[in-house]
Structure 1
Amino acid sequence: MFDSKYPLAISLAAAAFAHHARAADTPECAQYEPLLTRAELSFKNVPVCARINPGLWGLRKELAAHGIGFTATSYNGYTYDVLGNNAKKQVYNGQNPSYNTSLNLYLTYDLTRIGFANDAQLTLAGNWVDSTYTPANPRVKTVSVFAINQSFFNHQLEFEYGFIPGVRLFYGMALGGSASTAALGPSSVVPFQVGMSATEPTPTVNVIVRDPSLRFYNSTAVTRSVSPEGIQKDIDLNPSGLSFKVKDARAMFINEAGYKQASSASTHAMWLRAGAMYNTSHYTEFKSGEQSDNNYGVYLAETVQVTKPYNDARGWYLDSKIDYSPDSVNAINKAFQVSAFNVGPFASRPADMAAVGLTKSYYSRDLRDATTRYGLEAAPYTLAVTTSYAARLFPGVYLISGLTYTKNPVFSPIHSDALLLQESLNFLF
């Protein structure tokens, strides 16, 4: 399922656990951390020491000797509306029992071994996703990342270039709060409406500038928009993920400025950011049917650690976001989300995470007007409240259970409320 709160929940909880476990000594598996991908700037890696068999039966040591890193993850999910809103024609994820599975493989290579400057690293990743309800979770067999990350001046200047989804570089997907994606899929997220790539990579050049403390930053990317006809159309036109051009998809510019610091014994984790997106692609306007000159969007977001009971990454966090885009061409044009999550909620469970959140996404007024002109009813918004718990069963094995109440799970016709039970069993190698 494309609800990235799952891997993010695991990443934060596993990172906290690995830090807790390394407090007394530094295990051999920690030496492989530099070979984890650095391409996905807005995501936190799951530490090698928190994965299934960190040495991979000797394979990781053998690969590391040649400058190669390897990781694999498998997410396997189930969603069902326990209110019994089953229908012959399914119109939202979980209305009928819905299953999804994904396999993600990552290879990294230390490019300094062949003459690249500084800490240059190549990431090559592949992604296979299957689902019984594809509008919310598109089927994908694609290269997901093919990019080089390289930094200069003690990481004050960083470059990322190649093929990579925009969501891996910007925004920071929600933890426990973007529950509307459970029913509506990635298309319900405003930056994806505007054209930011989500499931398929797009050719991208990203430049990040940081101050000497490495906390303040400005990140600017020139990339290609996804197809103005939507994520599924983009997948159909670019199944490999490596096409420079896609019909009607033009240049897109993204800028994000922010402040980011990690949790330590003396500091709370904090990530504040503001972003703007400008898409030169032409979109069909809902009212006139004419082509727009462009598309754009803006967002504000913050993720802040508010308690620190163990002087590390564990504790309560607050995560919130506000998004806006024009309602003339974007079906969901504004949204806000607020959530709270606890990393290591119990002293005896340092690798678990609990979360609760609310998301409200507003449907375009222009689209609603166009819909009602045909005598159809249309929902003004979709609202979701979710609670979830990520439990570490064994090293590298997580069970994530969630319950999401969704009002207006369908845009048109207006549908009764849904209560979605979500279970996901995840394996990290």
Structure 2
Amino acid sequence: MFYAKYPLAVSLAALAFTQHALAADTPAAPECAQYEKLLTRAEVAFKNVSICSRIKPDLWGLRKELAEHGIGITATSYNGYTYDVLGNNAKKQVYNGQNPSYNTSVNLYLTYDLTRIGFANDAQLTLAGTWADATYTPANMRVKTVSVFAINQSFFNHRVELVYGYISGVRLFYGMALGGNASTAALGPSSVVPFQVGMSATEPTPTVNVIVRDESLRFYNSTALTRSVSPQGIQKDIDLNPSGLRLKVPEARALLINEVGYKQATSATTNAMWLRAGAMYNTSHYTEFLSGEKSDNNYGGYLAGTVQISKPFNDARGWYLDSKLDYSPDSVNAINKAFQVSAFNIGPFASRPADMAAVGLTKSYYSEDLRKATTRYGLEAAPYTLAVTTSYAARLFPGVYLISGLTYTKNPVFTPLHSDALLLQETLNFLF
């Protein structure tokens, strides 16, 4: 999956979390089920859609041939369109969808069973590459990069898990908006507070992640030492590190992330639940908005919870609530506070167990210091951006999804003040 396309957050979540619902209407298929163990395990914050629920599970025989050598392969293509139906077109576009905006990405994942060459336990290498393009790049970056080059390995019956190599922080922590972080439809990934603090979103960063679990494997503590993205922002980080494999980036220093949580899968007697709290400490120096001086550091924190509240079919289908609360200092972070509340339904109709409906609200607050600095130039600045979104992800065929969304956004631009936007979003996704 490609998580840089945060305007498609709803669709990505649908594809990641409907796998259990997909199983509900997918006949048992041992031939394709045997390839599940070769799906990537590096992206611990996300679920994979099962092989049996993709287009051509055998990939015309290629998947079987590669599996015999310990190699797994998956591919995805995401193709999106966004447009403000209120007709706020402008010669100089200032937010995603103001003019008709298109984006596309192609992603290829390869995994290798490292136990075949002497690694201990269940060690697995993941190598992934991404190509992405868009007509409005501030919200949808152009990328042609290695997206994952990392090893996942567990010890003591999965009570200790390691992920090390090049991987972005969003693939390991936080859990991107399951009901849709709506504000990102207009502002792009930079509007997410953890990314403001330096967590990597698009480009991978050199990382060592250690996850420790209790005997039940439900309570966990996840700690990562990684490199911050450039203090000048995500796009600057891409410009400085186009391959995704650069060890150092100018001005980007060490970032420590710690998350504690509780994760429980759905079963006949339990509802799915994921509760987490995270803290980030960035040793990079950021430019303070008011003084213009360099800060000593940057930091942030978040609380998040995803809970299944109904289970009409005694499986993963039903209603879920997802909420997040983020904070960082306003001296150096353009968006320093945000909260999100959303609800989504996996399998909203008995006849459509693989579909997903969602509605969500996000409010992100602009830094008070940044607003003060802006008024010095005689400009008005918005105090916040608020977005309400509704979406429906429909499985057209196994591995093919059409996701339709509508997002109302108040203050789609920081400055100058701009009229509200109503963004129509359509995405067509293919999973092989």
Query: What's the TM-score once normalised by structure 1's chain length?
Result: 0.99
SS state at 1:322 partner: strand
Structure 1 unaligned segments of length 5 or more: list them: none
Which digits, 9 at most, give the CA deviation of each residue in 1:292-318, with x for residues without a partner?
A: 000000000000000001111100000
Q: How does 1:153-172 map to 2 (within 5 A)?
A: 153-172=156-175
Among 209, 227, 235, the residue aligned to 2:238? 235
1:405 has 2:414 as partner: no
Distance in 2 separating the partners of 1:91 and 1:308: 43
Distance in 1 separating the partners of 2:295 and 2:131: 34
SS state at 1:91 partner: coil
Distance in 1 separating the partners of 2:180 and 2:376: 33
Distance in 1 separating the partners of 2:158 and 2:190: 34
SS state at 2:315 partner: coil
Number of the residue aligned with 2:284:
281
Among 344, 361, 369, the residue aligned to 1:341? 344
Runs (4 or more) in structure 1 with deviation over 3 Å come to none
Distance in 2 separating the partners of 1:383 and 1:181: 10
Distance in 1 separating the partners of 2:124 and 2:308: 30
Q: How does 1:19-418 map to 2 (within 5 A)?
A: 19-22=24-27, 25-418=28-421
Distance in 2 separating the partners of 1:20 and 1:399: 18
1:9 has 2:22 as partner: no
Shift of 1:202: 0.1
SS state at 2:180 partner: coil
Distance in 2 separating the partners of 1:84 and 1:177: 23
Which digits, 9 at most, give the CA deviation of each residue in 1:214-245, with x for residues without a partner?
A: 00000000000000000000000000000010
Distance in 1 separating the partners of 2:236 and 2:16: 31
SS state at 1:282 partner: coil
SS state at 1:283 partner: coil
Shift of 1:26: 4.4
Distance in 2 separating the partners of 1:366 and 1:111: 50
SS state at 1:21 partner: coil
Q: Given that residues 390 and 401 in structure 1 are in contact (C-alpha distance below 8 angstroms), is that contact kept between their aligned partners in structure 2?
A: yes
Distance in 2 separating the partners of 1:361 and 1:161: 32
Distance in 1 separating the partners of 2:126 and 2:86: 43
Number of the residue aligned with 1:18:
23
Which digits, 9 at most, give the CA deviation of each residue in 1:95-143, with x for residues without a partner?
A: 0000000001000000000000000000000011100000001100000
Q: Given that residues 177 and 385 in structure 1 are in contact (C-alpha distance below 8 angstroms), is that contact kept between their aligned partners in structure 2?
A: no
SS state at 2:18 partner: helix
Q: Given that residues 269 and 304 in structure 1 are in contact (C-alpha distance below 8 angstroms), is that contact kept between their aligned partners in structure 2?
A: yes
Distance in 1 separating the partners of 2:51 and 2:268: 22
Shift of 1:16: 1.4
Structure 2 unaligned segments of length 5 or more: list them: none
How many positions carry a matched residue from both structures?
427
Shift of 1:20: 4.2
Q: Given that residues 156 and 210 in structure 1 are in contact (C-alpha distance below 8 angstroms), is that contact kept between their aligned partners in structure 2?
A: yes
Please tell me the residue identity of whatever aligns with 1:358: L
Q: Please give the root-mean-square deviation of Cα atoms over the aligned residues, in Å.
A: 0.8
Distance in 2 separating the partners of 1:64 and 1:133: 39
Please tell me the residue identity of whatever aligns with 1:386: T
Q: Given that residues 390 and 405 in structure 2 are in contact (C-alpha distance below 8 angstroms), is that contact kept between their aligned partners in structure 1?
A: yes
SS state at 1:8 partner: helix
Shift of 1:264: 1.0
